[in-house]
Amino acid sequence: MKQLLAFILLNSCISVQAQNCDCLTAVKSLEKAYEANLASYQHQVVEYDRKYDYQVHKKAINEIAKRITATKDCIGLVAKYQSFFRDEHLFIAYKEGYYPYQSVTDTLSIKQAFAKEERLSNPPDYESIDKRIEGRWYFQDASFAVDIIPHAGINSEWAAILVTDNPPFWFRGQIKMELMRDAESHLNALYWRNSRSPKYFNVSINDSILELGKQFKFYRTKEKALFAKSKLSDTLSFKQLSEKTTYLRIPDFDGSLGDTIDSLVENNLTAIQQSPNLIIDVRNNGGGSDRSFRALLPLIFQNRIIPDPYTASVWVSPENLHYYDSTKYEYAETAADSAEGVAYVAALQKQAGKFEPILFSTDTLDFTYDYPQKIGIITNRKCASTTEGLVLLANESKKVIQFGENTSGTVSYGDWREIFLPGLPIWVSCTTKKMTFFNGKDIEQIGVEPKVKLNPEQENTWIEQVQYELEH
């Protein structure tokens, strides 16, 4: 009987539609875990001396949590709490097996899982709060549209509801986004992804474009959304654009692509070296492994000795130390690897209660190439993590000019681990490392700024613009 009662209490919030959620307990559990273990908390709150600001944010979150009874609202509040930290590796995910499908190809199960959610109707006449916000908006690839209407909720003043069915994940009238103003009247949004994991964004509205941070855009007309829709290839490729300029498209630095990228460069090295200009297009490249961009470095640099773009430092809390100890053999393939893992954990133990010492290093290339003489690297807001490390590093070369728009700003923290919250069907990430950059910059949520900025609404012409700039 006691076991049955414990099971019922533990699962009191398990359904997203549940109305008996103890949100305050879940949120306080998260706060305690982050304050003890989160690298970005130690960096931004403790080292930057922002404890007062954090306490104000925390108090406001807890006051809202006291009023929440629905699990979905509580999950949304968790995202709002996370938003205090400029840490793009913080996210929310659902526990394994929570949703009754294993793959996005299982469309029938997905439909059955999400078709039951609450739906709102768009009233023909409603009392407007702000016409600049309200009305119809089309997503950046024109794949769906929402109507933003006044809707008073725990996390919202407005709701963005789907105009039409967009199966298998979404159906007409469901809430795709909740918008609200903060205490300083800044507009923010809680955006629900297909998986129903929420993300909290700052919102800006300019020239009939509604932007969620640097990740998503909505347009007032379908025509504008279709015009702005990216035609960028997601395939690794090489092109000879002219006698003067060659082009490498590298959409991913996943560790499994290292040999493929090496081969792409090697197979086209003669053409690259016979042209004075090279364009390296890393737009939409979310990162991966440093190993995968190794073949580009001899083309980019003139000097063989180059700095590492950043160094990582673990926040050594007891729980983080246990995490590293429990995973020290995870990637070990040899006895030497295992010994190295044991030695690393032993070194961490000596730094208990603080960050590891910051130690910068350099790398020595075996060789470099004189040609190409000029390299244009094209970036956009979807360049993240390892890709940003490459761009930071490449900008130290006199050969390189960065074009486009700021990168994502998703590189300052990493090596996350899971934290489960009592009574909620989710887990949250907790970053354990901070990155310190060799140039001293802080780019989290800011990104690496290009030397030559290009209009993001004309992104489909960027290759031609960069080619012209390099050749003239």
What's the pLDDT tens digit per position in 32-85?
999 999 999 999 999 999 999 999 999 999 999 999 999 999 999 999 999 999
How crowded is residue 233: how many other Cβ atoms within 10 Å of its Cβ?
13
Q: Which helix (H) or strand (E) holds 71?
A: helix 71-82
- In angstroms, the Cα distances linking 50 to 68, 186, 433, 440 are 27, 20, 19, 20
User: In the numeric block, which tokens belong to residue 223?
Assistant: 């025509």
Residue type, 237: S
pLDDT of residue 438: 67
pLDDT of residue 17: 58
Averaged pLDDT, 116-131:
84
Q: Is the pLDDT of residue 210 over 50?
A: yes
Percentage of residues of the chain with pLDDT beyond 90: 62
Averaged pLDDT, 310-336:
89
Beta carbons within 8 Å of 185's beta carbon, 6+ residues apart:
none
**Between 7 and 140, where is the model more confident?**
140
pLDDT of residue 303: 87
What's the pLDDT tens digit per position in 424-472?
999 999 999 998 876 667 777 788 899 999 998 889 899 999 999 999 9
CA–CA gap between residue 226 and residue 221 (Å, rounded): 9
pTM: 0.85
What's the chain's average pLDDT?
A: 89
Q: Is the pLDDT of residue 327 over 60?
A: yes
Identify the band that residue 18 occupies on the pLDDT scale cut at 50, 70 and 90: low
**Between 8 and 239, where is the model more confident?**
239
